Structure 1
Amino acid sequence: MAKPKKQPRPKAATPKGFRDYFGAEVTRRRDMLETIAKVYHLYGFDALETSAVETVEALGKFLPDVDRPNEGVFAWQEEDSDWLALRYDLTAPLARVAAQYRNDLPSPYRRYAMGPVWRNEKPGPGRFRQFYQCDADTVGAPSVAADAEICAMLSDVLEAVGIARGDYIVRINNRKVLNGVMEVAGVLDPEDPEKFAHERGIVLRAIDKLDRLGLDGVRALLGEGRKDDSGDFTKGAGLSAGQAERIVGFLHARGDDAAQTLARLGDLVAGSPTGEEGVAELSTMADLLGAGGYGPDRIVIDPSVVRGLGYYTGPVFEAELTFEIEDEKGRPRQFGSVAGGGRYDDLVKRFTGQEVPATGVSIGVDRLLAALDAKGRLTSDMRGPVIVTVMDRERMADYQAMVAELRKSNIRAEVYLGNPKNFGNQLKYADKRGSPIAVIQGADERARDVVQIKDLDLGAKLAESVSHEEWKDQPAQFECPRDRMVAEIAKRLARPQ
């Protein structure tokens, strides 16, 4: 009789395009989300949580990565039922909520939402299939004053999380302007919106990749297509040279100030009512933002912003970080976009049959954290807990009483719960946890009702420079009365790091 085949052990590895997040990373994200939520709340937005799973029908087909299965979503079919998918953003679920609860929600409805989203896209450096978004949207406000407010709020959020003014810019454009340009270029027929829809989708994706591919790469995608470094070929929109140059001219329309940019855009869309309406909306937004103190040092009109998602119908905007960082080879580069959004007046209409104006922004929290980390601007206290070491197994209750006192004083603390036989291993554990302080009480200290406090942070500084004058008179380990333990530790933790 043949031996049953031994089941192979599962491979301990995250799936391609996914990653794990550990203590400090999770804490930093939480702190950032709380900071962003405070700004959203200040502007009058309320929190909303939706399911991570929606029907594919409810999500719609708006992702730019059309070459992936199921239009770039992770989807599956329930037995004899609907196709379901993980949400690819937080906007499509909002449209469903706005339609489902339209009789109960105030109008306009202002909400913010935070959580992970999933995209079945080709992963790459810094590009994951699961990532956090942090959105704010206004549903039911037709005026571009709502779009201007979102842009102002985005600017305030960036400064609140630690991006200094001058290190970012919020760039705004209007899909109606681009539609006007495409109409003049012969790629859009107002009488038949579905005509050339495939070509327009490629145009949008090509322009959205301007920063990454450069002008030549965009031109190739507007024409026959482009082969990337790996040899993969992406089919282009098939536009003529004249049509492509009209689109490229649109990308170069940004002037020295808003007035000059608007004038150039007006010339490009002359004869297109849609395009002229878009230019007028941009002019209104510029006036509103200027009145609120959001000048060109924070927010500018930039025709190269189009956004890749297919559901935008009016103003679109992106926040770009302008400072330089170094890539993995030490070469300087700009970090790029960390947030984006726009107006999507037709998204709720899919459910109700009636046009419901809406606009919003989505912040890529993980990208923003990576940018702050690259610039050394993460300010969260990443210190580990105070470690109460175990010198005598039989006195575990005493050690637990110590951590209870520390926790009551809001000091993060834990008792070492590994094998206490080797005291050196306890200190190695404390070091691996990033612990600032270790508490030691053996039989001798217990008899004298004292504890030893080992300042691990200070010990590390002294190890770096024994002659450091600032720390000479501060011993890295000292003895104190047991009833002074909490006060002494609190004083050490309050010291600037």
Structure 2
Amino acid sequence: MAKQKKAPRPKAQTPKGFRDYFGAEVTQRTEMLHAIAGVYHRYGFEALESAAVETVEALGKFLPDVDRPNEGVFAWQEFDEKDNGDWMALRYDLTAPLARVYAQHRNDLPTPYRRFAMGPVWRNEKPGPGRYRQFYQCDADTVGTASMAADAEICMMLSDTLETVGIPRGDYLVRINNRKVLNGVLEAMGLPEGDGARDNVLRTIDKFDKVGEAGVRELLTKGRLDASGAYIDGVGLSEEQAAPVLAFLTSKATDTAGTLANLRAAVGDSKVGAEGIAELEQIGEFLTAGGYGADRIEIDPSVVRGLGYYTGPVYEAELTFEILDDKGRKRQFGSVAGGGRYDDLVKRFTGQEVPATGVSIGVDRLLAALREKGRITAEPKGPVVVTVMDKKRMADYQEMVAELRNAGIRAEVYLGNPKNFGNQLKYADKRNSPIAIIEGGDEKEQGVVQIKDLILGAKIAESATLEEWKERPSQFQVPRDQLVAKVREILDGQDQ
């Protein structure tokens, strides 16, 4: 009989486009989300946790092909006993599930419904450097009101959120535009809804940040050479047709009134364009009333993010400080949040237009920005470690750690092999522990414990002379009943 081959061992590696998050990163993200949730809650928004899985039909943006939905989502087909199969998918954002939740529960929800949501989303896209298939989003939305006050409020809340998590004023800018204004520009160009050239123009406008005014002019008309020398065909518009787009993209003036005047000239006689400008004007009035000046929030026609998705105001939070890229070149950090008004999403379920507006913060990018600003330490403190000098006295060590925990101090007993005491201290260093507790047989008889300040000890070891060691002791002997008090004193000193 042939000998059966052993099944190969599975490879211990994360799937392509995914990554693992360890203690420090998870702790930092949790603390930041808690701070953001505090701002959202202060503005009157309520938390919502919707399912991570939706039907593809409910998600709506992607539809299945012959075998499986493969355009951007992770999807599969479930069959019942009659072989009727429903396509299911992991959510690709937090907005599409909100539309389903509101349509399903609208009779039980207040109107307007103000909710915030935080959690992972999944996209079946090609991964790249810093681009993963699973990432966190943090959203806030108001559903059920067409008032521009809701859009202004979202922008004010976004400004407050950035400052609360540690992005100082002057290092960010929330910029606002309006989809209706762009529609007015397209009308002024003679490109009504349904015109095939319209999408090409929108895609070209979206490249404004990369190629500038001259590049957009070339792409709208005859075409241009890119950085590699390759020729990119233009849309084929005349200079006269392209003029309203360029007037729109370059209409930002030194103040809001000047910007709005330039936009009126760009949209010409378009009714929808005039409506969009009036909405921007209202938002500006609300922002002024709330005390939010142009140093925090401004109207900027160059914001063209995701314009095919939105129906009115759009906004984006951009971090304006400089960082160095992989090649050592200076560049601005860029966008960390965006959103806008989407009045047609719930309509897919109800058949009736339900106005809505909201914002989504890219959690990972915001965390990266906070690290760039030095607002997040690379490694948070670990637990106080109670070392084990005699494994027969484990009950004594458990009593110590219980006292520390009951006092609100994070602590643990070393549970590895206690034979080598040096390995216990190495373990504490790897955990980034602030303090180690030592109680051997002699200490037990004397009724004392040794408390080692690991953080101060590490600093002294890096730079101190022998005399400085004597002046700044990093290890203390205290009576056993003063354990908690001394640990708290050392921890408080480390935080100063």
Which 10-residue stretch deviates more, 6-15 or 154-163? 6-15
Rounded Cα–Cα distance in structure 2 between residues aligned with 1:34 and 1:147: 23
Q: CA deviation at 1:447?
A: 1.2
Rounded Cα–Cα distance in structure 1 between residues aligned with 2:467 and 2:101: 62
Q: State the partner residue of 2:253.
A: 255
Change (3 A) 1:77 1:345: same
**Pick from 228, 235, 243: which aligns with 1:238?**
235
Q: State the partner residue of 2:25.
A: 25
Which 10-residue stretch deviates more, 373-382 or 274-283? 373-382
Q: State the partner residue of 2:100.
A: 96
**Pick from 160, 181, 201: which aligns with 1:156?**
160
SS at match of 2:92: coil
Cα pair 1:74 1:119 within 8 Å, conserved: yes
Rounded Cα–Cα distance in structure 1 between residues aligned with 2:329 and 2:257: 36
1:143 matched to 2:147? The reply is yes
Q: CA deviation at 1:121?
A: 2.4
Q: State the partner residue of 2:188.
A: 184
Q: Structure 2 stretches of 5 or more lacking a match?
A: none
Cα pair 2:58 2:96 within 8 Å, conserved: yes
Structure 2 counterparts to residues 52-91 of structure 1, below 5 A: 52-61=52-61, 70-79=70-79, 80-91=84-95
**Pick from 105, 113, 116: which aligns with 2:117?**
113
Q: CA deviation at 1:469?
A: 9.7
Rounded Cα–Cα distance in structure 1 between residues aligned with 2:121 and 2:446: 57
Partner AA of 2:18 in structure 1: F
Change (3 A) 1:333 1:119: same
Partner AA of 2:317 in structure 1: A
Q: CA deviation at 1:309?
A: 6.1
Structure 2 counterparts to residues 268-417 of structure 1, below 5 A: 268-308=266-306, 310-378=308-376, 382-417=380-415
Rounded Cα–Cα distance in structure 1 between residues aligned with 2:213 and 2:483: 65
Residues 172-219 of structure 1 show CA distances to partners (whole Å, capped at 9, x for unaligned) of 0000011111122233x2xxx4443xx544544544454356557656
Q: State the partner residue of 1:483.
A: 481
Partner AA of 1:238 in structure 2: V
Q: State the partner residue of 1:174.
A: 178
Partner AA of 2:446 in structure 1: R
Cα pair 2:244 2:267 within 8 Å, conserved: no
Q: State the partner residue of 1:264.
A: 262
- Using the aligned pairs only, state the percent identity: 71
Q: How many pairs are equivalent?
A: 486
Q: Structure 1 stretches of 5 or more lacking a match?
A: none
Cα pair 1:311 1:344 within 8 Å, conserved: yes
Change (3 A) 1:5 1:215: farther
Partner AA of 1:185 in structure 2: M
Rounded Cα–Cα distance in structure 2 between residues aligned with 1:446 and 1:360: 61
Change (3 A) 1:429 1:379: closer
Q: CA deviation at 1:474?
A: 3.0
Structure 2 counterparts to residues 469-480 of structure 1, below 5 A: 473-480=471-478
Rounded Cα–Cα distance in structure 2 between residues aligned with 1:219 and 1:70: 35
Q: CA deviation at 1:71?
A: 3.5
Cα pair 2:145 2:356 within 8 Å, conserved: yes
Residues 248-287 of structure 1 show CA distances to partners (whole Å, capped at 9, x for unaligned) of 3322121111111111111111121111110111111111
The TM-score normalised by the length of structure 2 is 0.91
Q: CA deviation at 1:62?
A: 7.5
Rounded Cα–Cα distance in structure 2 between residues aligned with 1:19 and 1:209: 30
Rounded Cα–Cα distance in structure 2 between residues aligned with 1:96 and 1:106: 16
The TM-score normalised by the length of structure 1 is 0.91
Q: State the partner residue of 2:419.
A: 421
1:49 matched to 2:53? The reply is no
Rounded Cα–Cα distance in structure 2 between residues aligned with 1:219 and 1:428: 63
Rounded Cα–Cα distance in structure 1 between residues aligned with 2:297 and 2:450: 56
Partner AA of 2:187 in structure 1: E
Cα pair 2:181 2:273 within 8 Å, conserved: yes
Partner AA of 1:152 in structure 2: M
Q: CA deviation at 1:296?
A: 0.5
